[in-house]
Amino acid sequence: MDFKYGDKIELFVKSDPYKGEYASQVLGMEQGDLLVALPVTKGHFVPIRPGSDLLVRVLKRDAAYEFESTVLERVYNETNKGLLLRMPEKIIRSQRRGDVRIEVSLPIEILIWDQMDSNECRSIQGRTIDLSAGGARIETAEELTGEYPLAIIIKLPDHEPMSLSCRYIRGGRVLGLNRYWTAVRFDSIKEKEKRQILKFVFRKQQDLRAKGLI
């Protein structure tokens, strides 16, 4: 894959004292290695140290890519404040961005418009079974169909609740339970909401990898 100026990336720092997840972007190439912007948190630059090991995730329009790297040096000049990262030997293409999916159970509220031309809706409670930036599989006590418009209200940790209009894809009965599962696709999701879900999904994936579960 080609790195382009402005490509959005996520840096997952594995070692202290700056262990954590940070947003950044590609600034360019220097002597065959990758130059990325120094992350900023709460208005302050995060001076990740040379020698720190990272997982780097690049968010392209068509897919997410990830690779292991190491900070070679911090770069400070008139035009850039950045980190020079060792170019990887191997880059893994994860999935299409909207299809990166994780199994997770989160409480949700489902809004149902039983009358196509009505502004009034009713709500029921449910939970997610899995989640991606493109859609979700949800579980409810009531069987849902594609006959009426749907929306879900979901709250991710550290974010305000978001209301997402949905399109019914398919559904069925949960084996052995008097409950139902429904696969939905998000319609007209905003880029800000998509990035919130992507970050949540990637963080969950990272936690599972750290525990050896995936």
Banded pLDDT at 51 (limits 50, 70, 90): very high
**Distance, CA of 198 to CA of 132 (rounded, Å):** 7
In this prediction, residue 186 has a pLDDT band, given cuts at 50, 70 and 90, of very high
The third-level CATH classification (topology) of the domain covering 102-208 is Thrombin, subunit H (2.40.10)
Give me the pLDDT at residue 212, please.
66
Are β-strands 44-45 and 102-103 bridged in parallel, bridged antiparallel, or unpaired?
unpaired
Query: Residue 163's pLDDT is what?
Result: 95
Residue-wise pLDDT tens digits, 128-175:
999 998 899 999 999 998 888 899 999 998 889 999 999 998 888 887
Q: Is the pLDDT of residue 40 over 70?
A: yes
pLDDT in tens, 89-126: 888 876 555 567 788 999 999 999 887 667 788 999 99
Residue 109 contacts residue 125 (beta carbons within 8 Å):
yes
Three-state secondary-structure class, residue 202: helix
Highest mean pLDDT among 1-10, 38-47, 147-156, 200-209: 147-156
**What pLDDT sits at residue 166?**
93
Residue limits of CATH 2.40.10.220 in the chain = 102-208
| Mean of all residue pLDDT scores within the chain | 86
30 pLDDT more than 90: no
Percentage of the chain modeled with pLDDT above 90: 37
User: CA dihedral in degrees (31, 36, 38, 40; nearest 10)?
Assistant: 180
Superfamily classification of domain 8-94: Electron Transport, Fmn-binding Protein; Chain A (2.30.110.10)
Please say if the pLDDT value at position 214 is more than 70.
no
Give yes or no for a contact between 58 and 65, defined as CB atoms under 8 angstroms apart. yes
**pLDDT for residue 106:** 95
List where CATH 2.30.110.10 sits in the chain. Answer: 8-94
